[in-house]
Structure 1
Amino acid sequence: MANGSRQAVWEFFGAELKRRREDAGLTQVELGARVFVSGAYIGQFEQAIRKPQLDIAKRIDEVLQTDGIFERLCRKLIDDRRYAEYFAEVVELERVATKICEFAPTAVPGLLQTRAYAEAVTVAANPFVTDEYVEEIVTARLERARILKDATRPEYWVVLHENVLRIPVGGPEAMAEQLEQIAGLMRERAVWVTVVPYATGAHAAMIGSLKLMDFDDAPPVAYTETSFSGTLMDDPAVVKRAARAYDLLRVAALSPEASLALVESAAEDHRRCTSTT
Protein backbone atom coordinates (compact mmCIF):
# COMPACT_ATOMS: atom_id res chain seq x y z
CA MET A 1 0.00 0.00 0.00
CA ALA A 2 1.43 3.38 -1.00
CA ASN A 3 2.17 5.89 1.75
CA GLY A 4 -0.58 8.23 0.51
CA SER A 5 -3.14 5.43 0.52
CA ARG A 6 -2.06 4.34 4.00
CA GLN A 7 -2.49 7.87 5.32
CA ALA A 8 -5.95 8.10 3.76
CA VAL A 9 -7.00 4.92 5.54
CA TRP A 10 -5.58 6.17 8.85
CA GLU A 11 -7.64 9.34 8.35
CA PHE A 12 -10.71 7.19 7.74
CA PHE A 13 -9.84 5.24 10.92
CA GLY A 14 -9.73 8.52 12.86
CA ALA A 15 -12.94 9.92 11.42
CA GLU A 16 -14.78 6.64 12.06
CA LEU A 17 -13.41 6.47 15.60
CA LYS A 18 -14.69 9.98 16.33
CA ARG A 19 -18.13 9.18 14.89
CA ARG A 20 -18.48 5.92 16.83
CA ARG A 21 -17.20 7.54 20.04
CA GLU A 22 -19.67 10.41 19.81
CA ASP A 23 -22.49 7.99 18.97
CA ALA A 24 -21.63 6.17 22.22
CA GLY A 25 -21.81 9.45 24.13
CA LEU A 26 -18.20 9.32 25.29
CA THR A 27 -15.63 12.09 25.46
CA GLN A 28 -12.06 11.48 24.38
CA VAL A 29 -11.02 11.37 28.02
CA GLU A 30 -13.73 8.85 28.89
CA LEU A 31 -12.86 6.54 26.01
CA GLY A 32 -9.16 6.88 26.78
CA ALA A 33 -9.71 5.85 30.39
CA ARG A 34 -11.55 2.72 29.27
CA VAL A 35 -8.81 1.62 26.85
CA PHE A 36 -5.93 2.69 29.14
CA VAL A 37 -4.56 5.66 27.17
CA SER A 38 -4.95 9.41 27.64
CA GLY A 39 -7.76 11.44 26.14
CA ALA A 40 -5.14 13.41 24.22
CA TYR A 41 -3.97 10.16 22.64
CA ILE A 42 -7.53 9.36 21.50
CA GLY A 43 -7.62 12.84 19.94
CA GLN A 44 -4.40 12.10 18.06
CA PHE A 45 -5.90 8.85 16.76
CA GLU A 46 -8.91 10.77 15.50
CA GLN A 47 -6.70 13.32 13.74
CA ALA A 48 -4.51 10.55 12.24
CA ILE A 49 -1.47 12.06 13.96
CA ARG A 50 -0.76 8.90 15.92
CA LYS A 51 -1.46 5.28 15.03
CA PRO A 52 -2.92 2.94 17.67
CA GLN A 53 -1.34 -0.35 18.56
CA LEU A 54 -3.32 -3.43 17.65
CA ASP A 55 -4.25 -4.21 21.25
CA ILE A 56 -5.62 -0.67 21.71
CA ALA A 57 -7.71 -1.05 18.55
CA LYS A 58 -9.12 -4.28 19.98
CA ARG A 59 -10.03 -2.57 23.25
CA ILE A 60 -11.71 0.28 21.35
CA ASP A 61 -13.84 -2.29 19.51
CA GLU A 62 -14.82 -3.87 22.83
CA VAL A 63 -15.75 -0.57 24.48
CA LEU A 64 -17.61 0.86 21.47
CA GLN A 65 -19.06 -2.55 20.47
CA THR A 66 -17.99 -2.05 16.86
CA ASP A 67 -17.75 -5.70 15.85
CA GLY A 68 -13.98 -5.64 15.22
CA ILE A 69 -13.89 -2.82 12.63
CA PHE A 70 -10.96 -1.00 14.24
CA GLU A 71 -8.97 -4.20 14.71
CA ARG A 72 -9.51 -5.09 11.04
CA LEU A 73 -8.46 -1.62 9.88
CA CYS A 74 -5.40 -1.68 12.10
CA ARG A 75 -4.37 -5.12 10.83
CA LYS A 76 -4.76 -3.93 7.25
CA LEU A 77 -2.61 -0.87 7.87
CA ILE A 78 0.22 -2.75 9.56
CA ASP A 79 0.14 -5.51 6.95
CA ASP A 80 3.22 -4.61 4.94
CA ARG A 81 4.66 -7.62 3.12
CA ARG A 82 8.10 -6.04 3.19
CA TYR A 83 8.18 -6.80 6.91
CA ALA A 84 7.62 -10.00 8.82
CA GLU A 85 4.12 -10.09 10.32
CA TYR A 86 5.49 -9.89 13.86
CA PHE A 87 7.57 -6.79 12.98
CA ALA A 88 5.11 -4.65 11.00
CA GLU A 89 3.54 -3.12 14.11
CA VAL A 90 6.99 -2.26 15.45
CA VAL A 91 7.69 -0.23 12.30
CA GLU A 92 4.53 1.80 12.89
CA LEU A 93 5.53 2.42 16.52
CA GLU A 94 9.04 3.54 15.54
CA ARG A 95 7.46 6.33 13.49
CA VAL A 96 5.73 7.85 16.51
CA ALA A 97 8.20 7.03 19.29
CA THR A 98 9.86 9.91 21.13
CA LYS A 99 12.72 7.72 22.35
CA ILE A 100 14.09 4.39 21.11
CA CYS A 101 16.63 2.38 23.08
CA GLU A 102 18.13 -0.67 21.43
CA PHE A 103 20.57 -3.46 22.30
CA ALA A 104 22.15 -5.39 19.44
CA PRO A 105 24.16 -8.50 20.39
CA THR A 106 25.28 -9.70 16.94
CA ALA A 107 24.16 -7.44 14.08
CA VAL A 108 23.88 -3.73 13.37
CA PRO A 109 20.30 -2.56 14.12
CA GLY A 110 18.18 -1.99 11.03
CA LEU A 111 17.90 1.76 11.63
CA LEU A 112 21.69 2.08 11.32
CA GLN A 113 22.37 -0.30 8.44
CA THR A 114 24.00 0.75 5.18
CA ARG A 115 22.69 -0.65 1.91
CA ALA A 116 25.61 -3.07 1.50
CA TYR A 117 25.26 -4.37 5.05
CA ALA A 118 21.47 -4.74 4.71
CA GLU A 119 21.87 -6.63 1.44
CA ALA A 120 24.36 -9.03 3.01
CA VAL A 121 22.10 -9.71 5.99
CA THR A 122 19.05 -10.24 3.77
CA VAL A 123 20.81 -12.66 1.43
CA ALA A 124 22.36 -14.59 4.33
CA ALA A 125 18.91 -15.14 5.82
CA ASN A 126 17.25 -15.86 2.44
CA PRO A 127 19.89 -17.42 0.12
CA PHE A 128 17.44 -18.52 -2.61
CA VAL A 129 15.42 -15.33 -3.07
CA THR A 130 15.42 -13.12 -6.15
CA ASP A 131 17.31 -9.86 -6.55
CA GLU A 132 13.93 -8.09 -6.68
CA TYR A 133 13.02 -9.47 -3.26
CA VAL A 134 16.35 -8.36 -1.79
CA GLU A 135 15.92 -4.87 -3.23
CA GLU A 136 12.40 -4.58 -1.81
CA ILE A 137 13.47 -5.64 1.69
CA VAL A 138 16.58 -3.46 1.72
CA THR A 139 14.73 -0.40 0.43
CA ALA A 140 12.11 -0.81 3.15
CA ARG A 141 14.84 -1.00 5.78
CA LEU A 142 16.54 2.14 4.52
CA GLU A 143 13.18 3.94 4.45
CA ARG A 144 12.71 3.13 8.14
CA ALA A 145 15.92 4.99 8.93
CA ARG A 146 14.44 8.26 7.62
CA ILE A 147 12.89 8.82 11.03
CA LEU A 148 16.40 9.66 12.30
CA LYS A 149 16.56 12.59 9.87
CA ASP A 150 13.12 14.04 10.59
CA ALA A 151 12.77 17.30 12.49
CA THR A 152 10.80 15.33 15.10
CA ARG A 153 13.29 12.48 15.19
CA PRO A 154 13.29 10.34 18.33
CA GLU A 155 16.19 10.14 20.73
CA TYR A 156 18.01 7.01 19.62
CA TRP A 157 20.18 5.19 22.16
CA VAL A 158 22.03 2.07 21.02
CA VAL A 159 24.15 -0.42 22.92
CA LEU A 160 26.18 -2.66 20.63
CA HIS A 161 28.03 -5.76 21.72
CA GLU A 162 31.59 -5.87 20.37
CA ASN A 163 30.48 -8.85 18.26
CA VAL A 164 28.67 -6.37 16.03
CA LEU A 165 31.96 -4.61 15.25
CA ARG A 166 33.95 -7.75 14.55
CA ILE A 167 31.68 -10.05 12.51
CA PRO A 168 32.53 -9.19 8.85
CA VAL A 169 29.00 -9.04 7.44
CA GLY A 170 29.23 -8.54 3.67
CA GLY A 171 33.03 -8.63 3.77
CA PRO A 172 35.62 -6.18 5.08
CA GLU A 173 34.75 -3.31 2.74
CA ALA A 174 31.06 -3.41 3.61
CA MET A 175 31.94 -3.60 7.31
CA ALA A 176 34.37 -0.70 7.10
CA GLU A 177 31.72 1.41 5.38
CA GLN A 178 29.09 0.37 7.94
CA LEU A 179 31.22 1.23 10.96
CA GLU A 180 32.41 4.48 9.42
CA GLN A 181 28.77 5.50 8.99
CA ILE A 182 28.00 4.68 12.63
CA ALA A 183 31.07 6.63 13.76
CA GLY A 184 29.93 9.60 11.68
CA LEU A 185 26.49 9.56 13.29
CA MET A 186 28.12 9.36 16.72
CA ARG A 187 30.34 12.37 16.00
CA GLU A 188 27.32 14.32 14.73
CA ARG A 189 25.45 13.38 17.92
CA ALA A 190 22.58 12.13 15.76
CA VAL A 191 22.55 8.89 17.77
CA TRP A 192 24.00 7.83 21.12
CA VAL A 193 25.99 4.61 20.68
CA THR A 194 28.00 2.74 23.29
CA VAL A 195 29.73 -0.64 23.06
CA VAL A 196 29.81 -3.56 25.48
CA PRO A 197 33.34 -5.01 25.05
CA TYR A 198 34.23 -8.69 25.17
CA ALA A 199 35.97 -8.13 28.50
CA THR A 200 32.64 -7.32 30.17
CA GLY A 201 31.74 -10.99 30.20
CA ALA A 202 28.28 -12.20 31.16
CA HIS A 203 26.26 -9.00 30.78
CA ALA A 204 25.65 -9.37 27.06
CA ALA A 205 24.61 -13.01 27.49
CA MET A 206 21.68 -11.96 29.68
CA ILE A 207 19.31 -11.05 26.85
CA GLY A 208 18.97 -11.20 23.10
CA SER A 209 18.16 -8.20 20.94
CA LEU A 210 15.98 -5.67 22.72
CA LYS A 211 14.16 -2.49 21.71
CA LEU A 212 12.42 -0.12 24.11
CA MET A 213 10.15 2.66 22.84
CA ASP A 214 8.66 5.64 24.67
CA PHE A 215 5.78 7.82 23.48
CA ASP A 216 4.29 11.19 24.39
CA ASP A 217 0.87 10.02 25.52
CA ALA A 218 1.02 6.24 25.69
CA PRO A 219 2.78 3.67 27.86
CA PRO A 220 6.22 2.42 26.78
CA VAL A 221 6.66 -0.91 25.01
CA ALA A 222 9.45 -3.44 24.70
CA TYR A 223 10.26 -5.66 21.74
CA THR A 224 12.50 -8.71 21.62
CA GLU A 225 13.40 -10.73 18.54
CA THR A 226 15.00 -13.99 17.49
CA SER A 227 15.87 -15.07 13.96
CA PHE A 228 12.32 -16.30 13.30
CA SER A 229 9.96 -14.42 15.58
CA GLY A 230 9.49 -11.28 17.62
CA THR A 231 7.47 -10.35 20.68
CA LEU A 232 5.98 -6.91 21.36
CA MET A 233 5.25 -6.40 25.05
CA ASP A 234 3.29 -3.64 26.78
CA ASP A 235 2.67 -5.22 30.18
CA PRO A 236 4.08 -2.56 32.57
CA ALA A 237 5.83 -5.12 34.78
CA VAL A 238 7.51 -6.81 31.82
CA VAL A 239 8.53 -3.50 30.22
CA LYS A 240 10.00 -2.41 33.56
CA ARG A 241 12.10 -5.58 33.74
CA ALA A 242 13.27 -5.08 30.16
CA ALA A 243 14.22 -1.47 30.90
CA ARG A 244 16.23 -2.63 33.94
CA ALA A 245 18.08 -5.18 31.78
CA TYR A 246 18.87 -2.41 29.31
CA ASP A 247 20.14 -0.17 32.11
CA LEU A 248 22.50 -2.93 33.27
CA LEU A 249 23.86 -3.27 29.74
CA ARG A 250 24.34 0.48 29.45
CA VAL A 251 26.27 0.55 32.72
CA ALA A 252 28.47 -2.30 31.47
CA ALA A 253 29.24 -0.48 28.21
CA LEU A 254 32.25 1.69 27.52
CA SER A 255 31.97 5.47 27.74
CA PRO A 256 30.76 7.26 24.59
CA GLU A 257 34.32 8.45 23.88
CA ALA A 258 35.85 4.99 24.33
CA SER A 259 33.01 3.45 22.30
CA LEU A 260 33.66 5.85 19.41
CA ALA A 261 37.36 5.01 19.52
CA LEU A 262 36.57 1.28 19.41
CA VAL A 263 34.13 1.68 16.50
CA GLU A 264 36.72 3.72 14.55
CA SER A 265 39.47 1.22 15.36
CA ALA A 266 37.32 -1.70 14.19
CA ALA A 267 36.51 0.21 10.97
CA GLU A 268 40.23 0.69 10.36
CA ASP A 269 40.86 -3.02 10.96
CA HIS A 270 38.26 -3.95 8.34
CA ARG A 271 39.59 -1.29 5.98
CA ARG A 272 43.10 -2.74 6.25
CA CYS A 273 41.70 -6.14 5.30
CA THR A 274 40.35 -4.65 2.06
CA SER A 275 43.82 -3.45 1.08
CA THR A 276 45.36 -6.90 1.56
CA THR A 277 42.80 -8.83 -0.47
Structure 2
Amino acid sequence: MPKPKDSVPGETPREFYGNELRRLREAAGLSQERLGELVFCSGGYIGMLEAATRKPQEDMSRRFGEILDTGGHFERLYPVATASRFAEYFTAAAELQAIAESICEYSPALVPGLLQAPGYARAVFESAQPLRSADDIESRVVQRMARARILTGPTAPLYWAVLDEAAIRRPVGGVAAMHELLAHLAGVVRNRRAVIQVMPFAAGGHAMLEGSICLMTFADAPPVAYIEGPHAGQLIDDPALVAKCSLSYDLVRAAALSPEASLALIEAAAEEYAHGHH
Protein backbone atom coordinates (compact mmCIF):
# COMPACT_ATOMS: atom_id res chain seq x y z
CA MET A 1 0.00 0.00 0.00
CA PRO A 2 1.42 3.46 -0.86
CA LYS A 3 2.13 5.47 2.27
CA PRO A 4 0.31 8.75 2.99
CA LYS A 5 2.38 11.84 2.31
CA ASP A 6 2.84 14.75 4.67
CA SER A 7 0.57 17.76 4.21
CA VAL A 8 2.01 20.98 2.83
CA PRO A 9 1.80 24.39 4.51
CA GLY A 10 -1.50 26.14 3.86
CA GLU A 11 -3.18 22.97 2.60
CA THR A 12 -6.72 22.57 3.95
CA PRO A 13 -7.96 19.14 5.13
CA ARG A 14 -10.19 18.86 2.07
CA GLU A 15 -7.29 19.77 -0.25
CA PHE A 16 -5.17 17.14 1.48
CA TYR A 17 -7.95 14.57 0.91
CA GLY A 18 -8.13 15.53 -2.77
CA ASN A 19 -4.37 15.46 -3.24
CA GLU A 20 -4.18 12.05 -1.56
CA LEU A 21 -6.95 10.74 -3.80
CA ARG A 22 -5.09 11.95 -6.90
CA ARG A 23 -1.74 10.56 -5.70
CA LEU A 24 -3.07 7.13 -4.77
CA ARG A 25 -5.28 6.88 -7.87
CA GLU A 26 -2.33 7.62 -10.13
CA ALA A 27 -0.14 5.17 -8.16
CA ALA A 28 -2.77 2.51 -8.87
CA GLY A 29 -2.71 3.35 -12.58
CA LEU A 30 -6.35 4.42 -12.69
CA SER A 31 -7.84 7.32 -14.64
CA GLN A 32 -10.47 9.52 -13.08
CA GLU A 33 -13.04 7.91 -15.36
CA ARG A 34 -12.07 4.36 -14.36
CA LEU A 35 -12.07 5.12 -10.64
CA GLY A 36 -15.45 6.78 -11.10
CA GLU A 37 -16.80 3.63 -12.72
CA LEU A 38 -15.59 1.55 -9.78
CA VAL A 39 -17.33 3.74 -7.20
CA PHE A 40 -20.40 4.43 -9.37
CA CYS A 41 -19.88 8.11 -10.17
CA SER A 42 -18.51 10.15 -13.08
CA GLY A 43 -14.87 10.87 -13.76
CA GLY A 44 -15.76 14.55 -13.52
CA TYR A 45 -16.95 14.03 -9.95
CA ILE A 46 -13.63 12.36 -9.07
CA GLY A 47 -11.91 15.42 -10.55
CA MET A 48 -13.96 17.74 -8.35
CA LEU A 49 -13.05 15.70 -5.26
CA GLU A 50 -9.39 15.91 -6.21
CA ALA A 51 -9.70 19.66 -6.75
CA ALA A 52 -11.42 19.99 -3.34
CA THR A 53 -14.52 21.61 -4.84
CA ARG A 54 -16.89 18.84 -3.70
CA LYS A 55 -17.38 17.41 -0.23
CA PRO A 56 -16.21 13.79 0.24
CA GLN A 57 -18.85 11.17 1.10
CA GLU A 58 -18.43 8.57 3.82
CA ASP A 59 -19.48 5.52 1.79
CA MET A 60 -17.36 6.64 -1.17
CA SER A 61 -14.35 7.15 1.10
CA ARG A 62 -14.73 3.56 2.23
CA ARG A 63 -14.86 2.40 -1.40
CA PHE A 64 -11.74 4.42 -2.24
CA GLY A 65 -9.95 2.64 0.59
CA GLU A 66 -11.00 -0.77 -0.67
CA ILE A 67 -10.16 -0.14 -4.34
CA LEU A 68 -6.87 1.68 -3.70
CA ASP A 69 -5.87 -0.63 -0.81
CA THR A 70 -5.12 2.20 1.63
CA GLY A 71 -5.77 0.39 4.90
CA GLY A 72 -8.50 2.77 6.05
CA HIS A 73 -6.65 5.96 5.05
CA PHE A 74 -9.65 7.68 3.45
CA GLU A 75 -12.01 6.57 6.20
CA ARG A 76 -9.73 8.33 8.69
CA LEU A 77 -9.44 11.42 6.49
CA TYR A 78 -13.20 11.72 5.91
CA PRO A 79 -14.29 13.30 9.25
CA VAL A 80 -11.42 15.80 9.14
CA ALA A 81 -12.02 16.72 5.50
CA THR A 82 -15.74 17.23 6.03
CA ALA A 83 -15.56 19.30 9.22
CA SER A 84 -17.16 22.67 8.43
CA ARG A 85 -16.56 26.18 9.72
CA PHE A 86 -20.18 27.04 8.88
CA ALA A 87 -23.36 26.39 10.81
CA GLU A 88 -24.41 22.80 10.09
CA TYR A 89 -27.60 23.80 8.29
CA PHE A 90 -25.70 26.18 5.97
CA THR A 91 -22.73 23.95 5.15
CA ALA A 92 -24.17 22.33 2.01
CA ALA A 93 -25.38 25.66 0.62
CA ALA A 94 -22.00 27.31 1.23
CA GLU A 95 -20.22 24.49 -0.58
CA LEU A 96 -22.59 24.72 -3.52
CA GLN A 97 -22.14 28.49 -3.76
CA ALA A 98 -18.41 27.92 -4.19
CA ILE A 99 -18.95 25.88 -7.38
CA ALA A 100 -22.11 27.51 -8.76
CA GLU A 101 -22.22 29.09 -12.22
CA SER A 102 -24.84 31.58 -11.06
CA ILE A 103 -26.20 32.69 -7.67
CA CYS A 104 -29.40 34.72 -7.39
CA GLU A 105 -30.48 35.94 -3.96
CA TYR A 106 -33.41 37.87 -2.54
CA SER A 107 -33.10 39.20 0.99
CA PRO A 108 -35.92 41.05 2.78
CA ALA A 109 -34.04 42.50 5.76
CA LEU A 110 -30.38 41.55 5.66
CA VAL A 111 -27.64 42.14 3.11
CA PRO A 112 -26.47 38.62 2.11
CA GLY A 113 -23.18 37.34 3.47
CA LEU A 114 -21.39 37.43 0.11
CA LEU A 115 -22.01 41.20 -0.06
CA GLN A 116 -21.29 42.16 3.54
CA ALA A 117 -18.51 44.46 4.74
CA PRO A 118 -16.61 43.68 7.98
CA GLY A 119 -18.34 46.20 10.28
CA TYR A 120 -21.80 45.12 9.15
CA ALA A 121 -20.95 41.41 9.42
CA ARG A 122 -19.58 41.95 12.92
CA ALA A 123 -22.78 43.70 13.99
CA VAL A 124 -24.91 40.90 12.50
CA PHE A 125 -23.01 38.25 14.47
CA GLU A 126 -23.05 40.30 17.68
CA SER A 127 -26.79 40.88 17.42
CA ALA A 128 -27.65 37.25 16.66
CA GLN A 129 -25.20 35.71 19.16
CA PRO A 130 -24.62 38.25 21.96
CA LEU A 131 -22.97 35.76 24.33
CA ARG A 132 -20.18 34.70 21.97
CA SER A 133 -16.66 35.89 22.75
CA ALA A 134 -15.10 38.77 20.84
CA ASP A 135 -12.45 36.41 19.44
CA ASP A 136 -15.10 34.01 18.16
CA ILE A 137 -17.05 36.85 16.54
CA GLU A 138 -13.90 38.15 14.88
CA SER A 139 -13.07 34.68 13.56
CA ARG A 140 -16.53 34.45 12.00
CA VAL A 141 -16.13 37.86 10.38
CA VAL A 142 -12.80 36.78 8.84
CA GLN A 143 -14.40 33.58 7.53
CA ARG A 144 -17.31 35.48 6.01
CA MET A 145 -15.00 37.92 4.24
CA ALA A 146 -12.93 35.01 2.93
CA ARG A 147 -16.04 33.31 1.57
CA ALA A 148 -16.93 36.47 -0.36
CA ARG A 149 -13.82 35.94 -2.48
CA ILE A 150 -15.82 33.54 -4.66
CA LEU A 151 -17.16 36.69 -6.37
CA THR A 152 -13.69 37.54 -7.68
CA GLY A 153 -11.42 35.87 -10.20
CA PRO A 154 -11.94 34.05 -13.50
CA THR A 155 -14.27 31.39 -12.06
CA ALA A 156 -16.56 33.82 -10.22
CA PRO A 157 -20.26 33.01 -10.61
CA LEU A 158 -22.77 35.40 -12.11
CA TYR A 159 -24.15 36.95 -8.93
CA TRP A 160 -27.50 38.77 -8.85
CA ALA A 161 -29.03 40.10 -5.64
CA VAL A 162 -32.35 41.81 -4.99
CA LEU A 163 -32.35 43.62 -1.64
CA ASP A 164 -35.41 44.96 0.06
CA GLU A 165 -35.03 48.66 0.82
CA ALA A 166 -35.20 47.72 4.52
CA ALA A 167 -31.81 46.03 4.16
CA ILE A 168 -30.11 49.32 3.28
CA ARG A 169 -32.18 51.54 5.59
CA ARG A 170 -31.90 49.61 8.86
CA PRO A 171 -28.75 50.95 10.62
CA VAL A 172 -27.17 47.62 11.58
CA GLY A 173 -23.95 48.36 13.44
CA GLY A 174 -24.47 52.11 13.37
CA VAL A 175 -23.82 54.90 10.92
CA ALA A 176 -20.14 54.09 10.22
CA ALA A 177 -20.79 50.40 9.56
CA MET A 178 -23.66 51.20 7.21
CA HIS A 179 -21.63 53.73 5.27
CA GLU A 180 -18.85 51.15 4.87
CA LEU A 181 -21.40 48.56 3.74
CA LEU A 182 -23.16 50.76 1.18
CA ALA A 183 -19.89 52.07 -0.22
CA HIS A 184 -18.81 48.44 -0.56
CA LEU A 185 -22.04 47.52 -2.38
CA ALA A 186 -21.58 50.42 -4.79
CA GLY A 187 -18.00 49.31 -5.43
CA VAL A 188 -19.10 45.73 -6.11
CA VAL A 189 -21.58 47.01 -8.71
CA ARG A 190 -19.21 49.50 -10.33
CA ASN A 191 -16.48 46.85 -10.54
CA ARG A 192 -18.99 44.57 -12.31
CA ARG A 193 -18.72 41.80 -9.73
CA ALA A 194 -22.49 41.63 -9.19
CA VAL A 195 -25.86 42.93 -10.28
CA ILE A 196 -27.80 44.47 -7.39
CA GLN A 197 -31.39 45.68 -7.42
CA VAL A 198 -33.39 47.27 -4.63
CA MET A 199 -37.03 46.46 -3.97
CA PRO A 200 -38.37 49.87 -2.85
CA PHE A 201 -40.93 50.34 -0.09
CA ALA A 202 -43.13 52.04 -2.69
CA ALA A 203 -43.48 48.77 -4.62
CA GLY A 204 -45.87 47.44 -1.98
CA GLY A 205 -46.61 43.72 -2.10
CA HIS A 206 -44.49 41.36 -4.21
CA ALA A 207 -43.88 37.65 -4.82
CA MET A 208 -41.28 37.13 -2.07
CA LEU A 209 -42.88 38.84 0.92
CA GLU A 210 -42.80 35.58 2.85
CA GLY A 211 -39.03 35.09 2.98
CA SER A 212 -35.54 35.04 1.52
CA ILE A 213 -34.16 32.73 -1.17
CA CYS A 214 -30.92 31.77 -2.88
CA LEU A 215 -31.04 30.08 -6.29
CA MET A 216 -27.97 28.34 -7.72
CA THR A 217 -27.22 26.84 -11.13
CA PHE A 218 -24.32 24.57 -12.07
CA ALA A 219 -22.46 23.44 -15.17
CA ASP A 220 -23.05 19.73 -14.62
CA ALA A 221 -25.92 19.44 -12.15
CA PRO A 222 -29.57 20.56 -11.79
CA PRO A 223 -30.33 23.91 -10.12
CA VAL A 224 -31.13 24.12 -6.41
CA ALA A 225 -32.78 26.63 -4.09
CA TYR A 226 -31.87 27.43 -0.51
CA ILE A 227 -34.18 29.11 2.00
CA GLU A 228 -33.16 30.17 5.49
CA GLY A 229 -34.62 31.39 8.76
CA PRO A 230 -33.20 31.89 12.26
CA HIS A 231 -30.97 28.92 13.15
CA ALA A 232 -32.30 26.75 10.31
CA GLY A 233 -32.11 26.39 6.55
CA GLN A 234 -33.36 24.07 3.84
CA LEU A 235 -31.78 23.06 0.54
CA ILE A 236 -34.39 22.32 -2.14
CA ASP A 237 -33.57 20.16 -5.17
CA ASP A 238 -37.03 19.02 -6.26
CA PRO A 239 -37.22 20.31 -9.87
CA ALA A 240 -40.87 21.39 -9.68
CA LEU A 241 -40.35 23.33 -6.45
CA VAL A 242 -37.11 24.91 -7.69
CA ALA A 243 -39.01 26.05 -10.79
CA LYS A 244 -41.65 27.73 -8.61
CA CYS A 245 -38.92 29.44 -6.59
CA SER A 246 -37.29 30.66 -9.80
CA LEU A 247 -40.57 32.12 -11.02
CA SER A 248 -41.05 33.98 -7.73
CA TYR A 249 -37.54 35.36 -8.04
CA ASP A 250 -38.16 36.49 -11.62
CA LEU A 251 -41.30 38.33 -10.47
CA VAL A 252 -39.34 40.06 -7.72
CA ARG A 253 -36.56 41.01 -10.11
CA ALA A 254 -39.11 42.49 -12.51
CA ALA A 255 -40.79 44.54 -9.76
CA ALA A 256 -37.57 45.94 -8.27
CA LEU A 257 -35.80 49.14 -9.30
CA SER A 258 -33.51 48.86 -12.31
CA PRO A 259 -29.82 48.20 -11.56
CA GLU A 260 -29.02 51.83 -12.44
CA ALA A 261 -31.74 53.27 -10.19
CA SER A 262 -30.76 50.83 -7.44
CA LEU A 263 -27.13 51.97 -7.57
CA ALA A 264 -28.26 55.59 -7.33
CA LEU A 265 -30.37 54.77 -4.26
CA ILE A 266 -27.52 52.85 -2.60
CA GLU A 267 -25.05 55.69 -3.20
CA ALA A 268 -27.54 58.28 -1.95
CA ALA A 269 -28.08 56.26 1.23
CA ALA A 270 -24.32 55.95 1.67
CA GLU A 271 -24.03 59.73 1.50
CA GLU A 272 -26.75 60.10 4.12
CA TYR A 273 -24.88 57.75 6.47
CA ALA A 274 -21.58 59.53 5.73
CA HIS A 275 -23.05 62.83 6.93
CA GLY A 276 -24.95 61.31 9.83
CA HIS A 277 -28.30 62.35 8.35
CA HIS A 278 -29.93 58.90 8.39
Offset, 1:172: 1.2
Aligned to 1:179: 182
Counterpart mapping for 1:35-74 below 5 A: 39=42, 41-45=44-48, 48-49=50-51, 51-52=53-54, 57=57
**Is 1:160 the counterpart of 2:163 in the alignment?**
yes
Aligned to 2:114: 111
Higher helix share: 1
**Is 1:234 the counterpart of 2:241 in the alignment?**
no
Aligned to 1:4: 11
From 81, 86, 104, give the equivalent of 1:83. 86
Greater C-alpha Rg: 2
> CA 1:232–1:212 in structure 2 vs 1: closer, same or farther (change >3 Å)?
same
> CA 1:72–1:233 in structure 2 vs 1: closer, same or farther (change >3 Å)?
farther
Distance in 2 between residues matched to 1:189 and 1:263, nearest whole Å: 15
Distance in 2 between residues matched to 1:162 and 1:84, nearest whole Å: 27
Stretches of structure 2 lacking an aligned partner (at least 5 in a row): 1-6, 67-72
In the alignment, residue 17 of structure 2 is paired with which amino acid? V
Aligned to 1:143: 146
In the alignment, residue 51 of structure 1 is paired with which amino acid? T
8 Å contact 2:37–2:43 — kept in the other structure?
Answer: no
Offset, 1:42: 2.5
8 Å contact 1:14–1:45 — kept in the other structure?
Answer: no
Distance in 2 between residues matched to 1:186 and 1:255, nearest whole Å: 13
Counterpart mapping for 1:205-216 below 5 A: 205-216=208-219
Offset, 1:8: 0.8
Once the two structures are superposed, what CA deviation does each residue of 1:38-91 show, in whole Å capped at 9, x if it has no partner? x45324235x2363467xx47868999x8xx989966643422x3101112222
> CA 1:264–1:14 in structure 2 vs 1: closer, same or farther (change >3 Å)?
same
Once the two structures are superposed, what CA deviation does each residue of 1:146-178 show, in whole Å capped at 9, x if it has no partner? 111222111111111111110000001110111
From 96, 109, 112, give the equivalent of 1:93. 96
8 Å contact 2:215–2:246 — kept in the other structure?
Answer: yes
8 Å contact 1:10–1:51 — kept in the other structure?
Answer: no
8 Å contact 2:213–2:228 — kept in the other structure?
Answer: yes
Q: TM-score, normalised by structure 2?
A: 0.80
What secondary structure does 1:97 align onto? coil
Percentage of pairs with the same residue: 40
In the alignment, residue 16 of structure 2 is paired with which amino acid? A
> CA 1:131–1:202 in structure 2 vs 1: closer, same or farther (change >3 Å)?
same
Offset, 1:104: 1.2
Offset, 1:265: 1.4
Aligned to 1:261: 264
8 Å contact 1:105–1:163 — kept in the other structure?
Answer: yes
Aligned to 1:225: 228
From 121, 124, 129, give the equivalent of 1:126. 129
Distance in 1 between residues matched to 2:21 and 2:240, nearest whole Å: 30
> CA 1:63–1:202 in structure 2 vs 1: closer, same or farther (change >3 Å)?
farther
8 Å contact 1:212–1:220 — kept in the other structure?
Answer: yes
Offset, 1:194: 0.6
> CA 1:17–1:226 in structure 2 vs 1: closer, same or farther (change >3 Å)?
farther
Distance in 1 between residues matched to 2:78 and 2:101, nearest whole Å: 21
Distance in 1 between residues matched to 2:132 and 2:258, nearest whole Å: 41
**Aligned Cα root-mean-square deviation (Å):** 3.4
Offset, 1:125: 0.7
Distance in 1 between residues matched to 2:175 and 2:105, nearest whole Å: 25
> CA 1:102–1:29 in structure 2 vs 1: closer, same or farther (change >3 Å)?
same
> CA 1:167–1:62 in structure 2 vs 1: closer, same or farther (change >3 Å)?
same
Distance in 1 between residues matched to 2:10 and 2:237, nearest whole Å: 27
Once the two structures are superposed, what CA deviation does each residue of 1:232-256 show, in whole Å capped at 9, x if it has no partner? 1222222212111111111111111
